[in-house]
Structure 1
Amino acid sequence: MRAVLASEWLKLRSVGSTGYAVGAAALTIVLGIVWTLYVVSLADARGSIRAAAPEEGFLPLVQVSLAVLGVLAITSEQADGMLRTSLAAVPRRGRLLFAKAAVVGGVTLAASAAVLIATYTISRLIAGDRALGFNDIGLLDGLPTVLASALSVAVLALVGLGLGAATRSTAAGIFSVVSLLFVLPSVAAYLPAPWNTRVASIMLPNLVPQIAGDRLSRRLGDGVLPPWAALLVLIAYGAAALLAGYLVLRRRDA
């Protein structure tokens, strides 16, 4: 198994798409700095304002960028025939997919945590003691939400990997991830009460504040899940996508 993991790590870091995906995610740091400087200028002119936290506002950029990495980790190999070679070397398809999931999950968790923590910390240092809304709690108090956000990125990358294996299409895999992030939550908002809040509570974008016990999760009202339940739902997304990918991969030729 160690050799399979090493092989998957080598393949992931040797393709250009990995660098582009991580680089796109890292743009969050730059955008966060620009946003904070802009908000600071407004606060200096007006006294105090309430602005969105940059690590939350630009989180979708990190999520989509690294979810694309997860999709490409499997679909690029299917497109160029490398997956067939990998399966010849590792006939047990479940082991191969597990190795890909371990590498993709580890890389995206580390990259997203680094990007989000950097964005979070730098924005607070720039803000100083100005009243900007997003810096009204202690520096350490906001870390649970940042770490939950990083976990959500890693799970989304695994969702992308699983759906990429299931659809065998880069476009379909990316569309599926984008739908989970943006389309389905919008549809849930139009459901009749109380189903709108109940369904909204299990939508991917709403799981992060619930996992962290963040006060923002109160927007869901009676639909708020306890942190442990929200964490299980998040993990279930990744597990279900990987299971679907495995079932398709097992039945089809590469």
Structure 2
Amino acid sequence: MTDALVAEWIKIRTTATTLYCLGVALASVVLSTLLTFGMVSSYDGRDAAGRATFTGTPMEEVTMLVAHLCLGVLGVLAISSEYTSGMIRTSFIAMPSRRVVFLAKSTIVACVVFVAAQAVIFGTFFLSRLVVGDRAIPDYRTGVDDRAATLFAMGLTAVVVALVGLGLAAIFRSAVAAIAGIALLVYVFPIAAGNIPEPLGPKIDALSMRSLALQIGGDVPDAVLSPAAALAVLAAYVVVAIGIATYLIGRRDA
């Protein structure tokens, strides 16, 4: 297993697409900072009454969506590029246990994405709060101690999206199909759930990535799921995607 981990680490850090995906994810921190300046400018241009009713979306929730896409694509390309180039056959020849190779790849992808996602989410949080300063903008007065669990969970959901992308790419052997699956999970699913009438709509939406992160952090009043249950659902996404992919990789030709 150690040899497989080392090999997968070398692959992922020497692949150009990894740098591109990580670069775009980290660039989202810069973008969110610019958006925060725009929000602050709008706040400062209002009178006292306007400021009293002013609201702003926490920028870490914006960058979370960008991170989901960029890091999810990283997970997809971690294996789809090997199928495209034929490198996957070389990997399986060098390491005959295909399932060990795939699980090693999953572990490395998870570790890389975890570090990148936490850097993006926490970086956005601190920079946006620095720009807002002492302005009384709702959702920007919460300290990191009160928000840490949610921020951590937001980064964790990016890991789940990346692993689901990796699993889908291994199952379908298609980057397009896997990326489409990620888009459905991250963007289409919560929008569709939001258009379903109560009481079913909120219960379905509670299973979306954003809602799971907020429920894990305890940021949702009258949450559908407890933090532990939300974490279990998050883990179930990974178990299903990686479990099916691992089974199929061990049974079919490369």
TM-score by length of 2: 0.94
Any stretches of 5+ residues in structure 1 without a counterpart?
A: none
2:6 is the alignment partner of 1:6: yes
Partner of 1:58, secondary structure, is helix
2:139 is the alignment partner of 1:139: no
Match of 1:89 in 2: 94
- Which piece of structure 1 moves more, 244-253 or 156-165? 244-253
Aligned pairs for 1:218-237 within 5 A: 218=221, 224-237=224-237
Q: Deviations over 1:46-82 (max 9, x none)?
A: 2532101111123111111000000000110011111
2:213 is the alignment partner of 1:208: yes
Distance 1:12 1:158 in 2: 14
Task: Give % identity.
Answer: 39
Q: Is the contact made by 1:29 and 1:118 (CA closer than 8 Å) also made in structure 2?
A: yes
The Cα of 1:194 is off from its aligned counterpart by 2.5
Q: Is the contact made by 1:71 and 1:157 (CA closer than 8 Å) also made in structure 2?
A: yes
Match of 2:161 in 1: 156
Distance 1:33 1:183 in 2: 26
Partner of 2:141, secondary structure, is coil
Number of residue pairs matched?
249
Match of 1:15 in 2: 15
Any stretches of 5+ residues in structure 2 without a counterpart?
A: none
The Cα of 1:141 is off from its aligned counterpart by 1.4
Match of 1:38 in 2: 38
Aligned pairs for 1:162-201 within 5 A: 162-201=167-206
- Which piece of structure 1 moves more, 27-36 or 196-205? 196-205
Q: Is the contact made by 2:154 and 2:210 (CA closer than 8 Å) also made in structure 1?
A: no
CA distance 1:88–1:154, shift in 2 (3 Å):
same
The Cα of 1:22 is off from its aligned counterpart by 0.3
The Cα of 1:143 is off from its aligned counterpart by 1.8
Match of 1:247 in 2: 247
Partner of 1:120, secondary structure, is helix
The Cα of 1:192 is off from its aligned counterpart by 4.8
Q: Is the contact made by 1:50 and 1:131 (CA closer than 8 Å) also made in structure 2?
A: no
The Cα of 1:158 is off from its aligned counterpart by 0.6
Distance 1:129 1:92 in 2: 57
Distance 1:118 1:63 in 2: 16
